[in-house]
Structure 1
Amino acid sequence: MKISKIMEQLKMILPILLGTAIYAFGLLYFIIPSKLMEGGITGITLLLNYAFSISPSLSTLLLNIPLFLIGWKMLGAKQIIYTGVGIGSLTFFLWLFEKMIHFGWMGTFQTEHDFILSSLYAGVTLGAGLGIVFRFGGTTGGSDIIARILNRKFGWSMGRILLVIDIVIISASLLYIPKEKILYTLVAVFIASKMIDFIQEGAYSARAFMIISDHTMDIADMITKDMDRGVTIIPAVGAFSKQAKHVAYCVVSRQEIRRLHQIVKSVDPRAFIIIQDVHDVHGEGFKEE
């Protein structure tokens, strides 16, 4: 039993390690040599590197440690544990690639005039890395932790919080890099967002689950307890069996898709699950007017 649990954890952790490795590679191979930018805490680490030549691995670790500790206290261990894995592995791979570049074991992609290739490939690698991390329930920390805390405390939309943070940080970068580099950065950010959606197997940031099971109430209780998501129970009648049933309806963010699926199957492996694209979501945990 213990071995199976360890294997299950490894199936979640190893892809997060791969994703952070790809993300760190994109930062050091494409972004930094071309002096492009990123949003969130990563953007702050880039600004510190451009302005004061501070190592991205060092600043990533120092900026994320207090945020991780605050998140652990306010969000709980279950919601933050894979974020810790993401922060630790991102810091390690940034350090590793920095050493490889320093000793000449790895080159960087540099161009003097046309930065469109840098921005395109940066968007692909950063988006691929983050997409893998998100798909398996992790994050790279930073502004994601801030957004989760503010969302829980004040009910503000996580998407809007992240957008405001990105705008502030990218705007601040105008003090250190030319405005045309900001435009190239926006290209990279756009490509990265599309790549994340592609890896997450969908174009939207939320999914609606309809779950039909003989253990609907048990599933709903686990979702509410483990994921802090609301569940609506809908009375229904099977057309063939003529038996009364209950349908659970729940909307989750793209980072939570895999976790919800695991909960349902752990309670009832025979549950019938319908997953739908959600174009727009308003309410607690999502967009607030």
Structure 2
Amino acid sequence: MRSEKTKPQFEWKKFCLLFLAGIINAFGVTLFLAPVNLYDSGISGTSMLLGQLTPDWMSLSLFLLVLNVPLFLYGLKRQGAAFTVYSIFAVAVYSVAAWLITDVLPIDVSIASPLAGSDLLLCALFGGLISGTGSGLAIRFGGAMDGIEVMAVIFAKRLGISVGTFVMIYNVLLYIVCGIVMNSWILPLYSIVTYAAALKTVDFIVEGFDRSKAAMIITAVPEEVCAELSAVFGCGMTTMAGQGYYSGTDKTVVYVVINRYQVSKLREIVHRKDAAAYITITEVADVFSANQNA
């Protein structure tokens, strides 16, 4: 019996949001970074450098498609059809929007940023924040704005490094090449500021501005602790049986998700009920429940 492959499910809502993400990314790069020769990260930064070194008809928009699309197609088997289609769509919108801003619309981006002039720090910060917003939206809604991230997912493990380290190494090498080619280290150094601002913005967009906290409480009086936490915070909890390794004493592990403002109160409540309780707090990037809409 022949097995049927599951067809990818596409959502028009995501296409609309990826369309917005592509425009935002193009806005940040073409109005803040490219006019003062600052460089974005990843394939976008590589495209900007190649656009400066090649004839005028080989523009940023062209290199974005030529470099990104093959990488996304290469990662099709690993990342899935939906991710690949969403990503290529986002990059295509980014490319077309960049072309419209630089070559069609009556906006002068030939000498300096139309919004921040020649102030490199302002251009680096706002270019990074805006392009990071676009990249973050693309990731949050099922795609990506840069093919280097796909390569990182595929090759990082084989090289024995993390995905983040792979991307960082690529960008450091990119900025070194930019410094050598342009015979100046000022612009590459400011580009690192852009990269840092964009990276932080992507984290905010993808994971949220206010991450939740997960508390794991090991206690001998779980009923009292859970009753008090439930009464104060009105939240659900999960309990698991445990045992002390050295003492052999039966313990209960209580798992609960709270916000950062409740951490201090939680610690106070738990230690009031059980002075010997052991508490660990970790960050939670996202929280999903069965009745939560995707």
Query: In 2 relative to 1, CA 124–177 (structure 1 residues): closer, same or farther, beyond 3 Å?
Result: farther
- CA shift, 1:156, in A, is 3.4
- The CA deviation at 1:14 is 1.4
Candidates 75, 88, 102, aligned match of 1:84:
88
For residue 142 of structure 2, what is the aligned residue in structure 1? 137
| 1:41 aligned residue (40, 43, 51) | 43
Hey, what's the Cα distance between the residues in 2 that align with 1:208 and 1:90? 37
TM-score under structure 2 length normalisation: 0.63
- Does residue 62 (structure 1) correspond to residue 63 (structure 2)? The answer is no
- Superposed CA RMSD in Å reads 3.7
One-letter amino acid matched to 1:13: F
SS in 2 for 1:32: helix
- Whether 2:190 is the aligned partner of 1:189: answer no
Is the contact made by 2:69 and 2:88 (CA closer than 8 Å) also made in structure 1?
no
> How far off its partner does 1:74 sit?
3.9
Is contact 2:36-2:118 (8 Å) kept?
A: no
The residue type paired with residue 114 of structure 1 is: D
Structure 2 CA distance for aligned equivalents of residues 208 and 160 of structure 1:
26
Q: Which has the higher contact order (CA 8 A, sep 6+)?
A: 1
Output one character per residue of 1:82-108: Cα deviation in whole Å (capped at 9) or x when no partner: 22222222222222223324xx2x233
Aligned-partner SS, 1:91 = helix
Aligned to 1:30: 32
Report matched runs for 1:1-289 at 5 Å: 9-52=11-54, 53=56, 54-101=58-105, 104=106, 106-108=107-109, 109=113, 114-151=119-156, 153=158, 156-174=161-179, 175-176=181-182, 178-200=184-206, 201-202=208-209, 236=240, 261=288, 265=290, 269=291
Greater Rg, structure 1 or structure 2?
2
Provide the rounded CA distance (Å) in 1 between the counterparts of 2:214 and 2:64.
34
CA distance, structure 1, for counterparts of residue 189 and residue 140 of structure 2:
28
SS of the residue corresponding to residue 33 of structure 1 reads helix
Q: Give aligned-pair identity as a percent.
A: 27
Q: How far did 1:236 drift?
A: 4.1
- Separation in structure 1 between the aligned mates of residue 283 and residue 167 of structure 2, nearest angstrom: 17
* Aligned residue identity for 1:60: L
Matched residue type, 1:173:
C
**C-alpha distance 136-208 of structure 1, shift in aligned 2 (>3 A):** farther
- The structural deviation recorded for 1:177 is 5.4
Change (3 A) 1:207 1:107: farther
Q: Distance in 1 between matches of 2:135 and 2:213?
A: 18
The total of aligned residue pairs comes to 221
Contact 1:147 1:158 in 2 (8 A): yes
**Residue 171 to residue 207, structure 1, CA distance change in 2 (3 Å):** farther
Q: Name the aligned partner's letter for residue 189 of structure 1.
A: Y
Structure 1 unaligned spans of 5+: 211-233, 238-246, 272-289
Q: Deviations over 1:20-66 (max 9, x none)?
A: 11111111111111001122111111111111142111111111122
Q: Deviations over 1:140-177 (max 9, x none)?
A: 13211111111465563110110011111111001125
Shift of the 177–124 alpha-carbon distance from structure 1 to 2, 3 Å rule, reads farther
**Structure 1 residues 195, 177: closer, same or farther in 2, change over 3 A?**
farther
Is 161-170 or 116-125 further displaced after alignment? 116-125
